[in-house]
Amino acid sequence: MKKFFALVLAILMVASLAACNGTSNTDGKTYVIYSDNAFAPFEYLDEASGEYVGLDMDIFAAIAEDQGFAYEMHNEGFDASMGAVQSGQADGMIAGMTITDERRESYDFAEGYFEDGQVLVVKNGSDIKDFDDLDGKTIACKTSTVGGEYAESIKDEYGFTINYYEGSNEMYQAVVTGADAACIEDFSVIGWAINSEDLPLTIVTEDPFNNSFYGFAVKKGTNPELIEMFNAGLANIKENGTYDELLAKYGY
């Protein structure tokens, strides 16, 4: 019994020490963070463990640990994450979210943590080699993404129409089944999907377009301390080698 009380005391001491050392501006708050659910290698379900894993999950965990704040992660999809942040249901989102000027009107972003652009993707053996070949065709885009926004901006010029899908996997399947002639996806994500899931899809654009950085986001004007902690933690994990280790874990 004595041992038990000693243990409890030790735990309490460690906990209070942690509370003193931790960032004082979180007040023991558990932040609610939303993310995509099928966007490997950034966030995806690990079938074996039943847990969501990926580079975003690891980077966020490392930053939260470095900064000493608590959070719960909800992997609900990209459009759902944006909705949750804008409605105040979520404090922030990390979801391979591209930082754009347009989004800065409704989000505050932390420093970018990964650079990526988009590519045009077709089914293996397709005649389509570029946007020029899409006249009269439909292409698949993911709801609320920059790929979809880009497609909207060029669809009249090239004469295609757009079908929207909630998730990346549904979008790929639309191209695999031939429902749509092509899709637009982030380069690193479609590259990962083609390699690991053996999808019969080919990237036809030579270089990714709209290269930009992914950033952690909060609703504009809210949770400024979360942005500060993300930036401070990101700088620390870059400094101490954790960030490079995490990139290497996913082959970058």
Query: Which spans of this chain sit near ligand GLN (rule: CB under 6 A)?
Result: 36, 39, 78, 95-98, 142, 145-146, 186
Calpha distance 74→83 (Å, rounded): 13
Locate all alpha helices (DSSP H) within 118-241, ordered by sequence: 146-158, 168-176, 187-197, 224-239
The nearer residue to ligand GLN, 111 or 225, going by C-beta atoms, is 111
Rounded to the nearest whole angstrom, what is the least distance from the CB of residue 126 to ligand GLN in the complex?
23
Q: Distance between CA atoms of 3 and 222, rounded to whole angstroms?
A: 46
- According to DSSP, residue 251 is labeled T
> Please, what is the end-to-end C-alpha distance for the chain in angstroms?
51
User: What is the spatial distance between Cα 157 and Cα 148, in angstroms, rounded to a whole number?
Assistant: 15
Minimum distance between the CB of residue 19 and ligand GLN, rounded to whole angstroms?
35
* Minimum gap (Å) between residue 4 Cβ and ligand GLN: 47
- Asked if residues 189 and 201 have their Cβ atoms less than 8 Å apart, the reply is no
Smallest gap from Cβ 73 to ligand GLN, in A, equals: 14
Task: Determine contact, residues 57/64, Cβ cutoff 8 Å.
Answer: no
Indicate the residue among 47 and 102 with the shorter CB distance to ligand GLN.
Answer: 102
- Least separation in angstroms between residue 186's CB and ligand GLN is 5
Smaller CB separation from ligand GLN, 169 or 242 = 169
Residue closer to ligand GLN by CB (options 189, 226) is 189
Tokens describing residue 85: 């942040």
Whichever of 36 and 66 has its CB closer to ligand GLN, that residue is 36
Distance CA 78, CA 57 (A): 14
